[in-house]
């Protein structure tokens, strides 16, 4: 799992950087850490495998390493813990690959957990797909969870 750069990760990187810089720079940067943020995004890389072989692409069969369900569950737990600890109001969960629909069961499992456990947090989904594996029944499943619209 990989977090995109957002206020949470920015704060983390900034905190690390604070050890390197002098006090004067720290004081200038510190107010940025105090800006409240209410959104968090997280990207789940479900697999590096893809059913296409685009020549320019870094991924594909050579990196046929899917995410395990245990890893996905730990990732979900982590995202919820961070969100609740920081008073996050909106979560954006992104599915990425390779081709994420190769791992459609895992994708639906992750989406279902976020929907089931979100409480007051607004959860939205995005997916990066080549679209070749979309079939009517799978499309229905994705639409039902608002993974695509
Ligand atoms: S469809 Fe996307 S992930 Fe698949 S090989 Fe092409 S660029 Fe890479």
**Integer Cα distance of 93 and 6 in angstroms:** 13
Average pLDDT over residues 38-59: 91
Average pLDDT over residues 81-97: 95
Cα dihedral 22, 25, 27, 31 sign: negative
Q: Which atom of ligand 1 is nearest to the CA of 128?
A: 2
Ligand 1 atom 8 nearest Cα? 57
Using a pLDDT cut of 90, give the percent of the chain over it: 61
Q: Which domains are delineated in the chain?
A: 1-36 (no CATH), 38-144 (3.30.420)
pLDDT at res. 58: 82
- Ligand 1 proximity of 60 Cβ (cutoff 6 Å): yes
pLDDT at res. 71: 96
């Amino acid at each position: 799992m990989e977090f995109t750069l957002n206020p949470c990760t920015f704060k983390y990187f900034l905190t690390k950087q604070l050890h390197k810089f002098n006090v004067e720079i720290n004081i200038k940067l510190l107010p940025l850490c105090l800006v409240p943020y209410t959104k968090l995004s997280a990207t789940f890389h479900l697999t590096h495998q893809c059913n296409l072989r685009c020549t320019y692409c870094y991924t594909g069969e050579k990196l046929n390493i899917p995410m395990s369900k245990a890893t996905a569950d730990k990732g979900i737990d982590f995202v919820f813990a961070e969100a609740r600890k920081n008073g996050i109001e909106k979560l954006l969960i992104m599915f990425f690959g390779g081709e994420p629909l190769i791992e459609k069961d895992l994708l639906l499992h992750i989406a279902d957990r976020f929907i089931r456990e979100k409480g007051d947090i607004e959860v939205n989904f995005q997916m990066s797909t080549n679209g070749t594996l979309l079939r009517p029944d799978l499309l229905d499943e994705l639409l039902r969870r608002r993974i695509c619209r």
